[in-house]
A and B are shown apart, each in its own frame.
Chain A
């Protein structure tokens, strides 16, 4: 079947123009489905979604709408379709879906179709789950109804096995590939009622262990990231960007730079100077030789991150009120009635994404069209940003999504994509723009710095009656996530964010505010427990007693780690709990301390997770392992500092991230079986890491670490 859509984009056309077999263009819930035929109106394409192509040889191609940045959704999402359509997984091929948000996007909060294709917040599986099951079930329905017609039997007499429709009465069987050779589409594909979808107990793929689709090409160098793209006549771009956010460049030695062999063009950008050359070495030489004055007064000029904490303290003490995250009861009224008030401040420095693939993109701008290769978390956002930037139509932009060598939130920004477009436009050639690691750090967009003031009022019976949490920092909306504690029953709560804009770039970083906020909350809970001479597990049990699902997660980790049991000499443990993207996770770690060097070693981590139905358990565990380790890295080592608005770190020698020697020797993860809807997994292990290390450290030494990262210097200072 040849399908062609006149008005569509290059990638879309190529995608639909497949010879042989059927492309299933399955309707959104309640929307009639259409088969693309040449004569059909192109208007329909906004209403349907194309998820599956079935070839006559039985190959099932499933289109993945999400960015693959390591989290494994390019496997998990197709597995959901394959499950309901009963595809033979060994015959499934996975390809990127076209960048068409109306078809492949999901609304915020999930459910339904159409919305953004942005891959963030661990929302891919949870947001697509219902739709993809429906789509898979509809494909199965089309196959079965065709067989029913051909065999002259009632569709209710038919069943499926992976890749086969069977008629149990007669024992007749037919493969999906054979069906593709004669199948016709019904005018309308009905919505398959939820009770006709598979029951959890009937799943053959979901919840089972199968391999990730992308791994074979990730062990031999053949996986293609945007940095690997080669286009004929491609040249190379590098950029010097303003060291202080907002300053403007003035290049002093342009003539000299133009003499460097290989340099093709020098491009003035709003916040930098671009160098285009016929090799990376030449572009880099121009970049390093450039003599640039940075002009203009900016807000960021005066920002000194270490002294910012003083401002935050003042703001925390002031009567100012910021924006409320949550409140219940009346904190101010109740606090004087409590027997004891406990207060503590926690701090966290800026942290940097440090995705292993530095930002880069390849762009080719030509005659009112643009072709771009990028590893981006927001393919549709990038596509429209490019269109707007060039003043051309969305359809004139052909964006090729590539694998992402890590995203963690940084690749949800499009700055690097638009830079590549600007450079290409300047020379009318395909340009590969590469950020050096130093660029990537110095022009980073960081998880914000913050100070967290916590205050709790304890009554005579040892109950926490009042709780106040004021988060003071920069980055506005990034600060509040995870500050609420809906699973701890405290009658009077006041949770508030106060923001100071320093004019520096901040951005979502894996788990966003949950990292700092859960550090503060879960450490503070332990401080209260110590004060009340209660076991920290016991205190959490009391606080959570009306939340059985949360409690179960906590109890599971306690059991896994044998909480309260014997611990080797010189070691101690800490516990914590956090929710993220609706998943629930609890962790315990075991540490030791080198008192001479001040170095903390985390030996083991136990983690229990409730994420509803888990589509791909082994990969879910990998995600938890990864988020624990990345969390640990940020807790122990990572700090970006600003002096007069300039980032002080340059590369991995002065922004160390966790290496193998500091990785835990063992990580045990238990996933709690569930039939509830899936929730986000990619960040769930990260938020409690700061607290469990601080809690273990307090148990070992009696001293409290309250400022992340817990570097050896801070540890030695604390130990005195």
Chain B
């Protein structure tokens, strides 16, 4: 089965079995490994990508469901870490193991696109689906707040 979609601004066609999952397709068929596997059941947010601008979990998304749509992964978020969130993530020194942060940043980027000035409660509500075992939540909050201030 062939699926065509826009990936990070470029048209791609992928031929795979009909049970192919978007997450594994990005990672293993297209070698875009920035999007991570954490749970496979929409519980951790490590696999968060943007589908037509909305944050979705790639681990539960069949490849066939993105036919004709626009997919953005962490690799497509910016060139050279130039997204304001990436800059704040660096200046606040947020990541530890770093494994969750593709998902964290993609989740936060989707929020700021829709709502450039969210309050603390809105940020918490929006970021809650993305787990961080290393416990970087307070720095994530600081980095998002800093991004909002700087904008």
Contacts and interface: CB of A to CB of B under 8 A. Distances in A.
A491 interface: no
B98 A405 contact: yes
Contact of B27 (A228, A618, A633): A228
Given A230-B33, A652-B131, A660 B140 contact: yes
B117 interface: no
A358 B127 CA distance: 21
Interface string A64-77: 00000111100000
A-side interface mostly:
loop
A666 B142 CA distance: 10
Interface string A250-289: 0000000000011000000000000000011110010000
A622 B101 contact: no
A663 B133 contact: no
B74 A663 contact: no
A408 B133 CA distance: 10
B93 A214 contact: no
B96 A72 contact: yes
A109 to B, nearest CB: 26
Interface string A228-249: 1010000010000000000000
A215 B87 CA distance: 11
B138 A667 contact: yes
Interface string B45-77: 010000000000000000000000000011101
A625 B34 contact: no
B147 interface: no
Contacts of A282: 17
A222 interface: yes
A358 B133 CA distance: 12
Interface stretch (A7-15, A188-196, A349-357): A349-357
B43 A403 contact: no
Interface in A423-443: 434, 436-437
B124 interface: yes
A358 B41 CA distance: 14
Contacts of A71: 96
Residue among B20, B38, B98 with the most chain A CB within 10 A? B98
A664 interface: yes
Contacts of A211: 90, 93
Contact of B20 (A279, A356, A406, A627): A279
Interface residues on B, range: 35 or more
A701 to B, nearest CB: 26
A659 interface: yes
Interface in A494-540: none
Contacts of A667: 138
A218 interface: yes
B75 A220 contact: yes
Contact of A281 (B19, B31, B132): B19
B105 interface: yes
A491 to B, nearest CB: 39
A436 B21 CA distance: 15
Residue among A211, A408, A434, A625 with the most chain B CB within 10 A? A625
A406 B99 contact: yes
A218 B95 contact: yes
A223 B98 contact: yes
Interface in A24-41: none
A667 B140 CA distance: 13
A652 B40 CA distance: 10
B147 to A, nearest CB: 12
Nearest to B63: A281
A219 B95 contact: yes
Interface in B97-151: 97-102, 105, 124-125, 127-141
Given A221-B33, A664-B138, A657 B98 contact: no
A658 B101 contact: no
Contact of B46 (A69, A214, A356): A356
B12 interface: no
Contacts of B46: 356
Given A219-B89, A261-B17, A663-B137, A657 B131 contact: yes
Contacts of A660: 124, 127-128, 130, 137, 140-141
A628 interface: yes
A80 interface: no
Interface in A123-166: none
Given A354-B133, A629-B137, A216 B38 contact: no
B102 A357 contact: no
A651 interface: yes
A218 B140 CA distance: 13
Given A70-B134, A211-B93, A653 B99 contact: no
Residue among A357, A653, A660 with the most chain B CB within 10 A? A660
Contacts of A285: 19
B77 to A, nearest CB: 7
Given A215-B89, A220-B77, A282-B17, A651 B135 contact: no
A103 interface: no
B136 A625 contact: yes
B142 to A, nearest CB: 10
Contact of A279 (B24, B43, B77, B97): B24
Nearest to A438: B40
Contacts of B140: 660
B98 A403 contact: yes
Contact of A219 (B17, B101, B134): B101
A619 interface: yes
Contacts of A99: none
A214 B98 contact: yes
B24 A281 contact: yes
A418 interface: no
Interface of B: 16-17, 19-21, 24, 27-28, 31-41, 43-44, 46, 73-75, 77-78, 81, 86, 89-90, 93-102, 105, 124-125, 127-141
4 A-B pairs closest in CB distance: A221-B34, A629-B135, A218-B98, A405-B99
17 contacts: A69-B97, A70-B98, A220-B74, A225-B99, A227-B36, A280-B21, A355-B99, A356-B36, A356-B97, A356-B133, A618-B93, A652-B41, A653-B41, A660-B124, A660-B127, A660-B140, A661-B124
Given A211-B90, A437-B38, 19 more contacts: A70-B98, A215-B90, A219-B81, A219-B90, A220-B86, A221-B33, A223-B98, A227-B36, A280-B21, A356-B97, A358-B38, A434-B37, A437-B40, A625-B139, A627-B135, A630-B135, A652-B41, A659-B131, A661-B128
